[in-house]
A and B are shown apart, each in its own frame.
Chain A
Amino acid sequence: MKSVFSIFWQFIRCEQRDRYSLFWNFAFPLIVMTILVLVFGNMNTAENTVVFQVGLVNQETELASGNELPVPSQIMEDLLVEISHGERSWLQLHQISQGQTIESFLSSELHQLERGNRHAVLVIPDALNESIYQEVMSVLSPQVQSHGGGEVVIYSQSGNQMSAISVDILSQIVSGINSQINTEIGLIDTAQMVDLHYYQVETDGGRSIPFNFANYLMPGIFLMVFLSSGLELVVERLALYRERGILRRYFAAPLQPAQYGLGLLMHIMVLSILQVLLVYGFGVSVFGVSIPLFTPLPLFYLLFSLTTLLSLGWLIAAVSKTANSALTLANALLYPLMFLGGLYFPVMDMPLPIQLFVQGNPVTYLVNGFRDSLGVFPSPTPALLNLLVPSLWLVTALALGFSRFKWDAKGGN
């Protein structure tokens, strides 16, 4: 046991002295978590958190109708100005400045849109009010001919997600003004209007816990650090140390391979506990994460994930002949396992060839089961598979690892 502790302490000391390892193991997961929460956490609520840059080109010259009717172009402009002046508004409105002609302003706004400096440009054409009044008259009095009403133009940038959201919001504003006109002239029965409510599916079997991206991401970050330990640390400490002859020198010490393995395992366990506590503490204090981590089922999934992912590293070290091949194989698997395991975003609706990888990836089931056990999101895969698939990987990796791993680079067992 003393030898096991010696190895353990040696790894701890190495870790402590190596600034880059410290960065990778402790600072990097926090950076990844911060970036992903800031980016993906904002996507569902883009309208509330992102500032849309919208150009408003009002070409309408007729500002008074001469009758009792409201002026639609002015209502639209006033409404947008009011929104943009609101505290922490989601809208930054760009309007014509003094001395600028309408044509040059429109051309400059479209230019800005093409270059990605605007998300949308709303053009209120000249004679819009007149067209709307005519249409109102045609509806109210069958003798007046209909011309189809007025039309505003929304320019957007093709393929730009933010631009598409801006168009949606502006269209909803126009739709609201349409409904307002219809209601004011008594055309429609407001009872027949359709209310639209958006909901997100509940995350915890009817207990109505609102979805929180930081909660959702946290298990993914835990598995990311375990994957890194399994595919980088284990591979490096086994394959690279074997090739450099470090293991051979250890075993001449004398030290048994099992003692070295246990020391390494103990080091990774302690490292993992520290990483989990750090990430959890950071998540709770910075992003208000609230998950029942220290309860039996999530703790089981933590341990199950760690052992499964470490066994993958063991398997890679066992099947690779050289350290270079082992590290390349580990690198080649790390990103697909991570990104196609659904650690950061869902992957259950990937197209078929990629879906096969997703379905065979143990990380998919581990993270689904883990999230389900924490109540942050129901598992899209059956609970049985969440245990069965990683178990199969674990048993296979351990069996192959034990039968094929050679402690000596020259082939002796």
Chain B
Amino acid sequence: MAIRYFILTKTLLVSFLRDRQNLFLTLALPLVFLFIFGSLFQNEGQQERITRVAVFVPPETTSDKDLWHVLDSTTGLRLDIVESEATLEEWVSGFKTDIGLIWDGSALRIYTNPTRMQDNSYFHQVASGIRSALEYQRTGLVRFIQVQNRQVGNQSLGGLDYLFPGIIALGVLSSGLFAISSSFMHYKDKKVLKRLMATSMSKVTFLAALMTTRMVASIMSTFMVLAAGIFVFRLTLTINWVLFLPYILVGTVTMMGLGALVTLIAKTAENAIQISTILMTIMMFFSGIYFPVEFLPSYFQRVSAFLPLSHVAKGIRYTMGIEAMDGVHFFLQAALLLVASSALTWFVTLKSRWND
């Protein structure tokens, strides 16, 4: 039995590596998303982030000395002086600057580009800081109450660190979900399973080999994303390997369970792939991978709580030291996902007819 298992695992693995589409979905797609969203979120949360400020002071303004003093002494700003309000707006809308600032001697007018949704809250903080410093400079205002900011969690984390485990979860999702919904259904459609049933190969051996193949695929995808994160995006990760690696396998089995559910609805492998792709796309948006789910209305936030990808991404963040969670909660969640998904995969694949 063990020999059959190893031979079949090797065959399925070779077949997986030869299938370019499958390979792309499992190994390349998470990397593509990492490069796209990694580049987008690279600046978020960085302490040394430079903000470009285009400044326009109308010629009739007499009191601009304080403003220049404040701007020159504020770190993290790159200043450009523009000659008119129209130019300033043009620079902001054309992405030549991050913030447009107009000072008329009594009020600061801050122009931002409304399409830069993910950056504007940061730019507003910068503008608010400039206003405070300017007011202090002009009025001699006494700060009777100071504000001390303290952060909990890993201080060096930025937006990309939060995104990164989500990308790993995406690889796990793709690898697990398509294992059953695509590969299993494909072998069934092509009568490969029927022929295998004619041999002494048991259903359990085949399923075990298929699961092993996809676990290897998940691990490969994870390491490729990790390597890209470390070497391309210079991420410094503190991974708890003892929890991380087993959790990747738990995540893969969880997604296989979801794939098993898909096979209950789909009639053919093609249908199963289409349903899985729809599921994957919807989960990508609702699982808080690319943006906080808090931005969604409360009813969509509740949907997010039911999606396995939300929980797997959270678990991966925990094992990478990015998100805090109670240890008991983590183990309980992992055990529940593992047991429920294994049972589902087992039941659906073994109880379904292989010789249709």
Q: Do A and B bind each other?
A: yes
A116-135: contact bitstring with B at CB < 8 Å (1 yes, 0 no)? 10000000000010001001
Which residues does chain B contribute within 8 Å of A324, judged by CB atoms? 19-21
The answer, among B135, B152, B278, B323, for a CB contact under 8 Å with A156, is: B152
A47-71: contact bitstring with B at CB < 8 Å (1 yes, 0 no)? 0011100000000000000000000
Q: For B89, B146, B152, which residue has the most chain A Cβ atoms within 10 angstroms?
A: B152
Tell me the B59-95 residues at the A interface (CB within 8 Å).
Answer: 89-90, 92-95
Which residues does chain B contribute within 8 Å of A252, judged by CB atoms? none
Check A250 for interface membership: any CB of B closer than 8 A.
no
Check A20 for interface membership: any CB of B closer than 8 A.
yes
Cα distance A270–B150 in the bound complex, in angstroms: 58
Which residues does chain A contribute within 8 Å of B25, judged by CB atoms? 331
Instruction: Contact check, B122 vs A164: say whether CB atoms are below 8 A apart.
Output: yes
Which residues does chain B contribute within 8 Å of A20, judged by CB atoms? 271, 274-275, 278
Q: For A31, A42, A161, A195, which residue has the most chain B Cβ atoms within 10 angstroms?
A: A161
Whole-angstrom distance between the Cβ of B171 and the nearest chain A Cβ: 14
Which residues does chain B contribute within 8 Å of A203, judged by CB atoms? 114
Tell me the A321-348 residues at the B interface (CB within 8 Å).
Answer: 324-325, 327-328, 331-332, 335-336, 339-340, 345-348
The interface size bin for chain B is 35 or more
Check A104 for interface membership: any CB of B closer than 8 A.
no
Cα distance A74–B114 in the bound complex, in angstroms: 37
Whole-angstrom distance between the Cβ of B272 and the nearest chain A Cβ: 10
Instruction: Contact check, A193 vs B139: say whether CB atoms are below 8 A apart.
Output: yes
Whole-angstrom distance between the Cβ of A357 and the nearest chain B Cβ: 9
- Which one of B26-34, B179-187, B196-204 is at the interface? B26-34
Tell me the nearest residue of chain A to B100, going by C-beta. Answer: A201
Cα distance A139–B143 in the bound complex, in angstroms: 11
Instruction: Contact check, A194 vs B108: say whether CB atoms are below 8 A apart.
Output: yes
Instruction: Contact check, A194 vs B106: say whether CB atoms are below 8 A apart.
Output: yes
Cα distance A159–B94 in the bound complex, in angstroms: 28
Instruction: Contact check, B131 vs A194: say whether CB atoms are below 8 A apart.
Output: yes
Cα distance A212–B30 in the bound complex, in angstroms: 31
B29-55: contact bitstring with A at CB < 8 Å (1 yes, 0 no)? 100110111011010110000000000
Known: A151-B148, A155-B150. A200 touches B113 (CB 8 A): yes
- List 24 interface pairs A-B (beta carbons < 8 Å), by A numbering: A42-B296, A113-B152, A132-B144, A149-B145, A153-B148, A158-B152, A158-B155, A178-B143, A178-B145, A187-B141, A193-B139, A197-B110, A198-B124, A199-B109, A201-B114, A211-B115, A331-B24, A335-B29, A335-B32, A336-B32, A350-B40, A351-B39, A354-B36, A378-B93
